[in-house]
Amino acid sequence: MNKKEKTKSRFAGLKSILLQLCLAVLIVVLLLVGLRLWLNHVTQHGVEIEVPQITGLSLTEAQILLSNSGLELQVTDSTYSHKVPLGTIVEQDPLPQSMAKAGRAVYVVVNAKQRRQVVMPDMIDISYRQAEHTLRQLGLVVSEVQYEPSAYRDLVLDVRKDDVSLPAGSKVEEGSSVVLVVGMGLGEANVTVPDLKGRTLIEARSQLLSCRLTIGTFAYDVEPEEGTEQNYVIYMQSPAAGESLKEGMGVNVWLSTDLEKAATADNVSSEEDFF
């Protein structure tokens, strides 16, 4: 092979290499472009969606609306408010009408599905105004004030909901309506004292109020531990059952966890014997 043919052969080989290199570069470029287009399609790059209003909706309603818009729902917290329906969304992020990338999560705070439970404080023998203020601070509504005979005016005798007494420690839904039973001083008529033996202090108070009487002084034979008062029943009272009292006067009682005392103890005849 002469010199001219060798040169021609080398040139052809170089041309082939350059052609292959260009083809490889083209393939790489096409792969990169294809990958970019695929990623844009998958991630919806550059596509933004107007965030709809979902506050005030239930989680199910919000989930459907966001899904139809190409967005997702994520609950971050819950709260309680009596100003909005239970179980509805009270806050959202991003805000309505803002723009968000497709597939983005909308974070929400949801109102509780049940009303908050309020623990009743001890309302007995405090002033009507103080009781009303306390109950309203707890989120309860004093719908009515009933006046009953009592030795002391304007002191609370009972708190009721649906004609049922609410003793200290009982729970009631926030926003509930309650009735305050308040003393108005002694009445003119005489009433018969009922038999309170075997009843708890709460039961006795309710029974006496129905007779237009009140609980006077009460005492335990053994001082109860906190939260165990309902285990004690009345085994002695003064005045005794069947005696007569003026409306609004109090019946003194003595309580024990010994049920035999309630069955066997004699009533005391006077306060002097009682204390």
pLDDT the model gives residue 232: 94
Average pLDDT, the chain: 86
What band does 10 get if pLDDT is binned at 50, 70 and 90?
Answer: low
Q: Which residue has the higher pLDDT, 137 or 25?
A: 137
- On the question of pLDDT at 271 being above 60, the answer is no
pLDDT the model gives residue 33: 75
- On the question of pLDDT at 270 being above 80, the answer is no
| Separation between Cα atoms, residue 9 and residue 18, nearest integer Å | 14
Provide mean pLDDT across the span 204-226.
92
Provide mean pLDDT across the span 2-7.
56
CB of 128 within 8 A of CB of 182? yes
| Separation between Cα atoms, residue 238 and residue 219, nearest integer Å | 12
Q: Which residue has the higher pLDDT, 261 or 268?
A: 261
pLDDT the model gives residue 25: 77
Fold match, 48-111 / 191-275? yes
pLDDT per residue as tens digits for the range 102-126: 889 999 999 988 888 899 999 999 9
Provide mean pLDDT across the span 221-226.
89
| Separation between Cα atoms, residue 97 and residue 50, nearest integer Å | 5
- On the question of pLDDT at 275 being above 50, the answer is no
pLDDT the model gives residue 5: 58
Write down the architecture of domain 48-111 according to CATH: 2-Layer Sandwich (3.30)
Q: Which residue has the higher pLDDT, 226 or 129?
A: 129
pLDDT per residue as tens digits for the range 43-90: 555 568 899 999 999 999 999 999 999 999 999 998 888 788 999 999
- On the question of pLDDT at 261 being above 60, the answer is yes
- Radius of gyration over every alpha carbon of the chain, rounded to an integer in angstroms: 40
Six-digit token string for 110: 């949801």
CATH number of 117-185: 3.30.10.20
CATH number of 191-275: 3.30.10.20
Provide mean pLDDT across the span 175-186.
92
Q: What is the DSSP string of 174-195?
A: TT-EEEEEEE----SSEEEPPP
pLDDT per residue as tens digits for the range 131-170: 999 999 998 999 999 999 998 889 999 999 998 999 999 9
Provide mean pLDDT across the span 171-183.
92
| Separation between Cα atoms, residue 270 and residue 198, nearest integer Å | 20
Domain residue ranges of the chain, discontinuous segments joined by +: 48-111, 117-185, 191-275
Strand partners of residue 250: 214
- On the question of pLDDT at 20 being above 70, the answer is yes
pLDDT the model gives residue 259: 84
